[in-house]
Amino acid sequence: MRALYTVLLRLALPLVLLRLWWRGRREPGYRDAIPERLGRYETEAPPKLIWIHAVSVGEARAAAPLVRAFTQALPDHHVLVTCTTAAGRETVKQVYGEKVLASYLPYDFPESVQSFLEHFRPRLGVLMETEVWPNLLAGCAQNGVPVLLANARMSEKSARAYARWRGLSRPAFAVLAAACAQSAADAERLRALGAREVEVTGNLKFDVHPDAAQVAAGRAWRAALGRPVLLLASTRESEERLLLDALPAWDGKLLVVVVPRHPQRFDEAAQWTQSRRTRTEMPDASDKTYLGDTMGEMAFYFAACDVAVIGGSFMPLGGQNLIEALAVGAPVVVGPSMFNFAEATRLAVEAGAAVQALDASAAIREALALITDAEKRNRMSFAGKKLCEAHRGATEKHLKRGLSLINGSARG
């Protein structure tokens, strides 16, 4: 089955490279470092290295506590962070600077994987959340590199998809040296797919502390604005229009701040807003809508709002991260599709820190009702911060498991 998968992957390579060029029209980063995607690297590899793969923006940010923990526990080691998307590569630069090595993960060709492993010779591989690639894991096994699936989540939908390709996916999951699952349900599904040594460690995203300077700047911005702020955070395709159309007639005060999930959609979203952050730091009093067209400032936006509506949840996309909003203290409203953050959503709703709405219209009604109810917003804000504090600690469990794999590999 893996041989057939590899043949099909090779046949698709021209289309994959064409897609890189096409996406590079709006995101030039996709046209950079293409040899790395084929396993050719110019970065000098240090002798002792821990490799963490974070496919895109969310995973790169979620890995921060783990990167910090490994760096402190193993000061003689270096950390390599790989990603797949251009936005993820940019996020690695923003979050880590020169503290880590950064590169693209190669496509899942056996020779590209082997070249990557021979060049960097990692002592441990850490795959964030759901990055299970058959040839990559087979190559790690052949080269004696233990692999930890970190912050692992497995929705029912994803589990069914993997199960349909059991002949390909089951050997890959079986290669994992260990898996740290976000919840008991995630752990159960991972075991059913063939993963061994699975333990429930909680969500690393609860261990990510919001940037204090950004939070302070957001609070100051909101105070200077002097108007209620509704944030549409991490919106995906079609959601901006869906949510904005659900708003009632403007009351002359409310400012709706729109922050799309992907930077390549900033210009597209600008058609629905009257001003944008990269051009106007403070919107005019007559502006109804404002575009947050900056990267790496979500803590600012969450601190600047009265209520945050989380995007990716009004189309069948599984939602976006609501934990950062809770940590800042923003009352949260989410839509019906939150399967990628099912456990965090359940905990937040049960704690009274978030509200889950049936559709966009209901979400806007809930959000506007909260804007007029300061007492309830304060309760939700307190509940969100308390929830985050109660569920911190996943990093220590991940570190313990990772160090045991490194020590076990060294003895072997």
110: number of Cβ within 10 Å: 18
Decide if 239 contacts 333 (C-beta within 8 A). no
- Residues present in the chain in total: 412
- Nearest partner of 305 among 380, 235, 221, judged by Cα: 221
Beta carbons within 8 Å of 147's beta carbon, 6+ residues apart: 124, 125, 126, 127, 137, 140, 175, 176, 177
- Nearest partner of 116 among 90, 82, 147, 67, judged by Cα: 82
Residue 256, sorted as left (phi over 0), alpha (psi -120 to 50) or beta, turns out to be beta
d(CA 121, CA 143): 9
Tokens of 365: 């009604």
Decide if 79 contacts 131 (C-beta within 8 A). no
d(CA 327, CA 329): 5
Concatenated DSSP letters of 273-298: -SEETTT-SS--TT-SEEE---SS-H
Concatenated DSSP letters of 33-48: SHHHHTT---SPPPSS
Map residue 23 onto helix, strand or coil: helix
Instruction: Sort 203 into a burial class: Cβ within 10 Å, 0-12 / 13-18 / 19+.
Output: buried
Map residue 317 onto helix, strand or coil: coil
DSSP category for residue 339: G
Say whether 59 is catalytic. Answer: yes
In the set 27, 36, 42, 59, the catalytic residue is: 59
Q: How many CA atoms lie within 13 A of 252 on its CB side?
A: 0
Phi then psi for residue 126, to 5 deg, are: -125, 115
Decide if 325 contacts 383 (C-beta within 8 A). no
d(CA 100, CA 78): 7
Helices in 143-183 by DSSP H: which ranges? 156-164, 166-175
* Residues taking part in catalysis: 59
